Structure 1
Amino acid sequence: MNHSVAEITTEQAGIYLQQLCKHFAHKLAVEFTPEQGTIPFSMGMCRLEAAGDKLTLKAEAENADLLVQVEGVVERHLVRFAFRDPPEIVWRAAEQAAS
């Protein structure tokens, strides 16, 4: 399994988390609260966490190509929702966190 993480600083962390989750919930079995969300795409998964001014995106997929697809879908949608203050989104490789 391949994993990546992007940490975004924004005053709208919780709002963006909910916008992303509500948007994808129209077609996917999304689960979310104001602080956490899980978006299960066909090619992988994205977990979101909002805490204060930090929005953390955690992508995972079976291989590197699918991981890039998950990152791209989430990134494109977040940029659309945050058009007034476009976030800097930098994905970095991550080890699977113990849950």
Structure 2
Amino acid sequence: MSDLPTPESLVLTSRAEVATERPARYAKQLVSHMGHKVPVEEIENGHRITFNRDGNFNGYGDVLVFASERGEQLVLLAHADDDERLSRVEGVLGRHLEKFGERDGLKVVFER
């Protein structure tokens, strides 16, 4: 993965803060599922998913769990170098998480 750009070098980032009482569970489920298809690595407060399937790099998705005054929170960050790739990363992260959290009514809305 060393030949890929760093997330900090990518010009676009978006963020989704997902309300849930079980952020760690959903983070683990999302990362485990995606890890069967694309590289995943542990980072501070969570995991980074590298959207590089079949050599087609689209960007990174960070799946983070934070403690706040309101309790724990699941935060998704999408990093990419253009709008199309950012939309693709957001879509994959959002669709999968909403599917996993359908019973709990999870909604993922990214803000740029």
TM-score in terms of structure 2 length: 0.76
Residue 83 of structure 1, CA deviation: 1.3
Flag as ranges the 4+ runs of structure 1 deviating above 2 A.
none
- Which amino acid in structure 2 is aligned with residue 10 of structure 1? T
- Tell me how far apart the structure 2 counterparts of residues 32 and 11 of structure 1 sit (CA, whole Å): 22
- Which amino acid in structure 2 is aligned with residue 8 of structure 1? V
- Which amino acid in structure 1 is aligned with residue 21 of structure 2? E
The question of 1:36 aligning with 2:46 is answered yes
- Tell me how far apart the structure 2 counterparts of residues 56 and 49 of structure 1 sit (CA, whole Å): 5
Give the SS at the match of 1:3: strand
The root-mean-square deviation of aligned C-alpha atoms, in Å, is: 1.4
Find the counterpart in structure 2 of residue 64 from structure 1.
83
- Tell me how far apart the structure 1 counterparts of residues 98 and 89 of structure 2 sit (CA, whole Å): 14
The question of 1:77 aligning with 2:96 is answered yes
Structure number, greater radius of gyration: 2
Aligned with residue 5 of structure 1, among 15, 30, 54: 15
Contact 2:49 2:60 survives alignment (8 Å): yes
After superposition, the C-alpha distances for 1:8-41 in whole angstroms (9 at most, x for unaligned) are 11111001111011001112221237x4011000
Q: Which runs of 5+ in 1 are unaligned?
A: 94-99
Q: Which runs of 5+ in 2 are unaligned?
A: 1-10, 53-57
